[in-house]
């Protein structure tokens, strides 16, 4: 079986590709080849099967057509313009996040293999802010362009699945914490920064108050959920292809308390409160509490504790992040 990952040069794409390469299979099916796609070349992991890296524009039909063949069994769609950038550049956000998703789904349709498509949607498809609790049947009402683009992508996955062109799953990922590497243009970037920069001896900027709550997921949990979605029985999903995975609701204050417990007082002193109305407006519309009964019934694993999340970053990604900063 051939596997394609878009957005494969990003950190989740790299981790998922490495996991698939190491395991050599998805569920009961052996992986025979893997294609990694992004705007920049993705590094191919060591694998017992051929791995090719392709670069290009996710919205270009000719390029994307070559990513999916009759032998493609799984497509994981991670490629996206992140939240604050999508809000700032309206045209680019819609071109990549919607047109790119439609182009990829159309390539799957033309290939005729009805692959499993795992679409990474987002907490941002919902609004309601801090007071909201999102149930499995809550209607998406996005509060920004990024959320609207992801919600539109979910509807595409739904309809292409209903027509049996693909067998889709939309995973509404929480804010992924701690992201390795450098801060990016995601509005939620501060959530990783306050648990990452202090361990590097660098300042972290905090644009929200300590009682601000977020729905988060560790990289380990996110990769587990994506891998599970690749192998999930589509019949169990029925018509509704969207899943709220079992994320973790935490306040910024709780995150800082764990930072202090693991990193000490010096780490805490490196977090500085700043005003950023643009970021506060975007993340302030996102709800922080999600019901996850459906995801658990579908076999998505429960999340680890916040302290385990931080210690996993130190074990998995701190050294690589430090080396990147040094370079």
- The catalytic residue positions are 146
Distances in Å between the alpha carbon of 322 and those of 7, 178, 278, 325? 23, 14, 29, 5
Looking up tokens 């308390």, which residue turns up? 257
3-state DSSP call for residue 105? helix
DSSP letter, residue 66: T
Cis peptide before 178 (omega within 30 of 0): yes
DSSP letter, residue 43: P
Nearest to 230 by CA among 151, 146, 115, 327: 115
Distances in Å between the alpha carbon of 113 and those of 108, 159, 231? 7, 16, 16
Could you give phi then psi for residue 217, rounded to 5 degrees? -145, 145
3-state DSSP call for residue 136? coil
């Amino acid at each position: 079986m051939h596997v394609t990952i878009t957005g494969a040069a990003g950190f989740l794409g790299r981790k998922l590709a490495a996991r698939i390469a190491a395991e050599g299979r998805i569920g009961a099916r052996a992986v025979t080849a893997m294609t990694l796609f992004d705007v920049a070349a993705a590094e191919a992991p060591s694998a017992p099967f051929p791995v090719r890296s392709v670069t290009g524009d996710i919205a270009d039909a000719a390029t994307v057509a070559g990513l999916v063949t009759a032998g493609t069994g799984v497509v994981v769609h991670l490629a996206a313009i992140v939240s604050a950038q999508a809000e700032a550049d309206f045209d680019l956000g819609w071109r990549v996040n919607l047109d790119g998703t439609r182009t990829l789904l159309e390539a799957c349709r033309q290939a005729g293999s009805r692959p499993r498509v795992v679409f990474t949607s987002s907490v941002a498809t919902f609004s309601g802010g801090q007071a909201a609790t999102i149930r499995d049947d809550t209607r998406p009402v996005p509060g920004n362009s990024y959320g609207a683009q992801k919600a539109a992508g979910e509807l595409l996955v739904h309809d292409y699945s209903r027509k049996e062109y693909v067998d889709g799953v939309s995973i509404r990922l929480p804010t992924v914490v701690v992201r390795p590497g450098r801060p990016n243009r995601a509005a939620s970037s501060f959530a990783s920064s306050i648990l990452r920069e202090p361990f590097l001896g660098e300042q972290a900027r905090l644009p929200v108050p300590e009682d601000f709550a977020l729905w988060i997921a560790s990289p380990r949990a996110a990769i587990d959920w994506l891998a599970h979605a690749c192998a999930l029985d589509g019949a169990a999903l029925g018509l509704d292809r969207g899943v709220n995975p079992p994320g973790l609701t935490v306040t910024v204050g709780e995150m800082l308390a764990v930072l202090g417990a693991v990193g000490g007082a010096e780490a805490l002193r490196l977090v500085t409160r700043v005003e950023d109305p643009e970021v506060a407006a975007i993340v302030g519309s996102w709800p922080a509490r999600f019901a996850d009964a459906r995801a658990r019934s579908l076999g998505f694993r429960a999340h680890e504790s916040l302290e385990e999340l931080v210690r996993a970053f130190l074990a998995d990604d701190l050294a690589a992040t430090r080396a990147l900063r040094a370079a």
